[in-house]
Amino acid sequence: MKFRLDQDSLGKVKIPSDAYYGAFTGRAIQQYHVTGNKAHENLIKSFVMIKRSAAVANMKTKAIDQKRGKAIVSACDKILSGKHVDQFVVDMINSGAGTAFNMNSNEVIANVALEVLHKKKGQYEHLHPNDHVNMSQSSNDT
C-alpha cells in the first residue's frame, strides 16, 4: 500500500494515498476505535448538505471566493451522489461533540474539492478543510 503524509496544525500523519481523509481523521481512527461502527449514509449525506449550504451562503456573503466555494459545492454534490461515502471512517463513538466526524467530513470534502481544482490531496494552501470547508461553522453547531 502506498502512503502520503498529510499535515495539520498538530503535525504530519501517514495516510493511505488513495484516502480522501486527512491527518485529523488519521489520528481519530487510531484514538477512537471503540465500536467499529461508522456513520450511516443518511447521516453522512445530511452533514454534507450542511457543508454545501454553508459554502453557498459563504459565497453569497463573499466570505469565500467563487472558485473555492464552487469547488466545495461540486465536491459535496459528488458525495451526495454516492461517491466517496466510504471515506467517512471515524468510529461513531468519538470525542466530545462530534469533532472527529466533523473534521472527517471537512477533510474528505476538501480533498475532493482539491481534485476539482486539479490539485493533489493535501494541498491545503489552495483549499483548507477547516478554513474553507468549515467556514462560518462550529463543530458543536454542525
What confidence category does residue 32 fall into, taking pLDDT thresholds of 50, 70 and 90?
confident
Class in CATH terms, 3-133: mainly alpha
The type of residue at 102 is N
pTM over 0.85: yes
Asked whether 68 and 51 are in contact (CB, 8 A), the reply is: no
Sign of CA dihedral 83, 107, 51, 112: negative
Evaluate whether 44 touches 85 at the Cβ level (below 8 Å).
yes
37 or 135: whose pLDDT is higher?
135
User: Taking all residues of the chain, what is their mean pLDDT, rounded to a whole number?
Assistant: 93
pLDDT of residue 64: 99
User: Residues 6 or more apart from 104 whose CB is under 8 A from it?
Assistant: 21, 24, 25, 28, 87, 88, 89, 90
> Tens digits of per-residue pLDDT, 67-90?
999 999 999 999 999 999 999 999
Asked whether the beta carbons of 79 and 124 are under 8 A apart, the reply is no
Between the CA atoms of 20, 24, 27 and 31, what dihedral angle is there, to the nearest 10 degrees? Answer: -120
pLDDT tens for each residue of 107-133: 999 999 999 999 999 999 999 999 999
Q: Does position 46 have pLDDT exceeding 70, yes or no?
A: yes
